[in-house]
Amino acid sequence: MKPAPFDYARPNTRREACELLKKYGDEARLLAGGQSLMAVLNMRLAQPKVLIDVSAIEDLHYIERRDDYLAVGAGIIQAELLERPTLVDEVPLLALAMPWIGHAQTRNRGTVCGSIAHADPSAELPLCLLTLGGEVVLEAHRGKTRRVPAADFFQGVLTTARRPDELVTEVRFPLKKPGSRYCFREVSMRHGDFAIVALAAVIADQQVDLGIGGVADRPVVRTLSKGERLNAELNEFAWSLDAQDDAHASAIYRRHLIRELGSVMINDRSATEEGPIHAIQS
Amino acid sequence: MQSKADTRYRVTLTLNGRERSGYAEPRMQLCDFLRHDLGATGTHVGCEHGVCGACTVLVNGRASRSCLMLAVQADGKQLETVESLAAGDELNDLQKAFRKHHALQCGFCTSGILMSSMEFLAKSTSPTEPEVREMLSGHLCRCTGYTGIVNAILEVAEERNSGISRQTDINKENNNV
């Protein structure tokens, strides 16, 4: 279908964008790459009064390596981050997970921050940010900024801690920790479909931070201990997520995938290397 | 810039190397602007929510869904559509290979697949079959079963590579002389 009519604004600065947000609040939707929002608009599931397009704001277009994190500005598309030659050394989990986001053609427009702000429970980027313990930077009018840890940012299906007058300007992914190993696995009906279950793991000597997407109403991370108790802890984790039956998979199957794939990822080194093929190499 | 829902905004873009202009309401999708205002009907419109890939065009060199982009967002951008491929009646190498390998039947999905493949082949010079199939995962074709499409793309990659090596050999010979 075609979207319902809306007013359109394309600010050139963050300040202008934040003033528009203050003026319109809930009546406005922010548009960046549009790979989720445009589909929603076309199907008329959302009919905002105003669309604020932030893609022309030049100073949001940056990827910067700072002390212990990689900062990604709201203007950066997923393909640009994935094509970064040093990404695999900086944030290896992203290098493993990002090829699973949609398709090459949607990664060419979809933004990194847009996916975080959209907060789809099955999306890869929110899961990675949460599992790594990253942060979201928000800006409101008059340059008021605040940082929100990923654990507080994701609050439910398509629901975040962002206030109606705030713009997500940056997300921060913690850099690779020496001695840790990173894994990502996903099960979906076809490559590029929404995840039935997605697992992201940071595996250290004694413990594992395991993040699960696609099951609960938001991504969830839990620290598990390696060794004898692991399978019992995986089982408890799987049951804690309140998995639902839907058209794609049953709750039983989702819990099964968490137990089995969780165990494979954490115990089997070879799982690190598994991932889809990078179709586009730069 | 700000534009009201019921006013038409002037959009100027470069389409296949030529500057073109038209007027679009904010809600107009890029695919409709290309077809109805600029007459570039080679781009097809399928699902209108980013799943089928039929409307894929190149925006500043990157394969993108033109149904998930507003016409006003394309203002000032470089666009390439399927009309850019053939030189008059002479099909380009990729189109010829599609014809040879029966990589299309009804042809509805083909223009999108050709544009994605153009970007893919420019970036990935020696692709493997799984890489081609992963790129194609962003497109639906209900006629071919994809085998012909995969074969055509792999053949073009190989031909372009041998073309480059032939050219390098010629250059070497010339330099030696």
Residue from the list A10, A192, A278 with its beta carbon closest to the beta carbon of B1: A10
Same-domain status, B67 and B102: no
| Residue A161 near residue A137, CB atoms below 8 Å | no
Residue A215 within a domain: yes
Last residue of a domain, one of B28, B55, B84: B84
Q: Tell me: the pLDDT tens digits for A240-269?
A: 999 999 988 999 999 999 999 999 999 875
At B1 the pLDDT is 80
Instruction: Give the residues of chain B that fall short of pLDDT 50.
Output: none
Last residue of a domain, one of B84, B110, B143: B84
Mean pLDDT along residues A5-26 = 96
Residue B66 within a domain: yes
When divided into structural domains, chain B yields a total of 2
pLDDT tops 60 at residue A17: yes
Residue A276 within a domain: no
Identify the CATH number of the domain in which residue B17 sits: 3.10.20.30
Q: Does B177 touch chain A (CB under 8 A)?
A: no
Across the interface, whether the CB atoms of B59 and A109 are under 8 A apart is answered yes
Contacts of A52 in chain B (CB under 8 A): none
Same-domain status, A195 and A209: yes
| Residue A211 near residue A220, CB atoms below 8 Å | yes
At A278 the pLDDT is 36
Smallest Cα distance from A128 to chain B, Å: 22
Range of the domain at A14: 7-53
Choose between A114 and B6: higher pLDDT: A114
Across the interface, whether the CB atoms of B72 and A34 are under 8 A apart is answered no
Across the interface, whether the CB atoms of B70 and A10 are under 8 A apart is answered no
pLDDT tops 60 at residue A129: yes
Smallest Cα distance from B148 to chain A, Å: 19
Q: Does B52 touch chain A (CB under 8 A)?
A: no
Q: Does B131 touch chain A (CB under 8 A)?
A: yes
- Give me the torsion for CA of B151, B152, B153, B159, rounded to 10°: 110
Last residue of a domain, one of B84, B107, B136: B84
Range of the domain at B30: 9-84
Q: What is the DSSP letter of A59?
A: G
Across the interface, whether the CB atoms of A7 and B2 are under 8 A apart is answered yes
When divided into structural domains, chain A yields a total of 3
Report the C-alpha gap between A207 and B174 in whole angstroms. 63
Amino acid at B83: E
Same-domain status, A68 and A142: yes
Across the interface, whether the CB atoms of A8 and B138 are under 8 A apart is answered no
Same-domain status, A74 and A163: yes
Across the interface, whether the CB atoms of B3 and A38 are under 8 A apart is answered no
Q: Name, in order, each residue with C-beta under 8 angstroms of A30's C-beta and a sequence gap of 6 or more.
A: A21, A52, A54, A117, A167
Identify the CATH number of the domain in which residue A41 sits: 3.30.43.10
At A276 the pLDDT is 42
Instruction: Find the range with the poorest average confidence among A59-73, A139-153, A188-202, B10-24.
Output: A188-202
pLDDT tops 70 at residue A180: yes
At A193 the pLDDT is 86
Q: Name, in order, each residue with C-beta under 8 angstroms of B177's C-beta and a sequence gap of 6 or more.
A: none
At B2 the pLDDT is 85
Same-domain status, B61 and B98: no
At B172 the pLDDT is 65
Same-domain status, A96 and A166: yes
Residue from the list B48, B120, B132 with its beta carbon closest to the beta carbon of A42: B48
| Residue A257 near residue A197, CB atoms below 8 Å | yes
Report the C-alpha gap between A210 and A75 in whole angstroms. 29
Mean pLDDT along residues A236-241 = 97
Mean pLDDT along residues A191-215 = 94
Question: From the CB of residue A279, how many other CB atoms can be counted at a distance below 10 Å?
Answer: 24
Residue A19 within a domain: yes
Residue A280 within a domain: no
pLDDT averaged over chain A?
A: 93
Identify the CATH number of the domain in which residue B106 sits: 1.10.150.120
Report the C-alpha gap between A231 and B159 in whole angstroms. 52
Mean pLDDT along residues A85-100 = 97
Same-domain status, B128 and B145: yes
Same-domain status, B108 and B72: no
pLDDT class of A271 with cuts at 50, 70, 90: very low
Question: Which spans in B18-177 are helix H?
Answer: 30-32, 93-100, 110-123, 129-136, 147-176
| Alpha-carbon Rg for chain A in angstroms | 19
Residue B3 within a domain: no
Contacts of B135 in chain A (CB under 8 A): 103-104, 279-280
Identify the CATH number of the domain in which residue A191 sits: 3.30.390.50
Same-domain status, A170 and A63: yes
**In this predicted complex, what is the ipTM?**
0.91
Identify the CATH number of the domain in which residue A116 sits: 3.30.465.10
Across the interface, whether the CB atoms of B26 and A7 are under 8 A apart is answered yes
Same-domain status, A113 and A164: yes
pLDDT class of A282 with cuts at 50, 70, 90: very low
Smallest Cα distance from A13 to chain B, Å: 11
At B113 the pLDDT is 98
Angle between helices A230-240 and A251-267 (to 10 degrees): 150
Question: From the CB of residue A194, how many other CB atoms can be counted at a distance below 10 Å?
Answer: 16
At B3 the pLDDT is 87
Same-domain status, B97 and B27: no
In this complex, how many residue pairs, one in chain A and one in chain B, have their CB atoms less than 8 Å apart? 126
